[in-house]
Amino acid sequence: MEVNEKIATDHGLKPDEYKKICDLLKRTPNLTELGIFSAMWNEHCSYKSSRLHLKKLNTKGKKVIQGPGENAGVIDIGDDDAIVFKIESHNHPSFIEPYQGAATGVGGIMRDVFTMGARPIANLNSIHFGSTQHKKTRNLLRGVVKGIGGYGNCIGVPTIAGQTCFDQSYNGNILVNAMTLGLVNKNKIFYSKAAGLNKPVIYVGSKTGRDGIHGASMASAIFDDKIEEKKPTVQVGDPFTEKLLLEACLELMSDKSIIAIQDMGAAGLTSSSIEMASKGNLGIELHLDKVPCREEKMTPYEIMLSESQERMLIVLENGKEDSAKKIFDKWNLDFAVIGKTTNSKNIELYFEKEKVANVPIKFLANEAPMYDRPWKKTKLPQKIKFSNNDFKKLKFNDVIKKMISNPNICSKQWIWEQYDHTVMGDTIQKPGGDAGVVRVHGTNKAIASSVDSSASYCHAHPFTGGKQVVCEAWRNLVSVGAEPIAITNCLNFGNPEKKENMGEFVECIDGINEASKHLNFPVVSGNVSFYNETKDKGIKPTPTIGGVGLIKDYKNLMTMSFKSKENLVLVIGKTEGNLDQSIFANVILDEKKGPPPEINLFNEKNNGETILKIIKEKLALSVHDVSLGGIMVGVLKMCINGNKGVKFYKFKDLINIYQYFFSEDQGRYIIEVDKNNIKKVESILKKNSVHFDLLGETTDKEIIINDEPTFTVDKITEFYKGWLYKYMS
d(C-alpha 110, C-alpha 123), whole Å? 8
- Strands 533-534 and 427-429, by their bridges, are unpaired
Q: What three-state secondary structure class fits 364?
A: helix
d(C-alpha 424, C-alpha 442), whole Å? 12
Instruction: Confirm whether 691 is a catalytic residue.
Output: no
Those residues with Cβ within 8 angstroms of residue 353's Cβ, 6 or more apart along the chain or in another chain: none
* Closest C-alpha to 440, from 186, 111, 121: 121
Where are the extended beta strands (E) located within 67-190? 73-78, 81-89, 119-129, 159-166, 175-185
Instruction: Confirm whether 44 is a catalytic residue.
Output: yes
Q: Where are the alpha helices (DSSP H) in 11-136?
A: 15-25, 31-41, 43-46, 51-54, 91-96, 98-114
| From 44, 92, 459, 518, the catalytic residue | 44
Per-residue 3-state assignment (H helix, E strand, C coil) for 638-692 = HHHHHCCEEEECCCCCCCCHHHHHHCCCCCCEEEEECHHHHHHHHHHHHHCCCCE
Q: Are 593 and 381 in contact (CB under 8 A)?
A: yes
Q: Are 655 and 577 in contact (CB under 8 A)?
A: yes
By the 10 Å C-beta count (0-12 exposed, 13-18 middle, 19+ buried), 391 is classed as middle
d(C-alpha 105, C-alpha 404), whole Å? 31
d(C-alpha 511, C-alpha 515), whole Å? 6
Q: Which amino acid is at 221?
A: A
| From 53, 90, 461, 518, the catalytic residue | 90
- In degrees, to the nearest 5, what angle opens at C-alpha 570 toward C-alphas 569 and 572? 155
* Closest C-alpha to 549, from 480, 633, 640, 489: 480
Those residues with Cβ within 8 angstroms of residue 5's Cβ, 6 or more apart along the chain or in another chain: 15, 18
Show which residues are catalytic: 44, 90
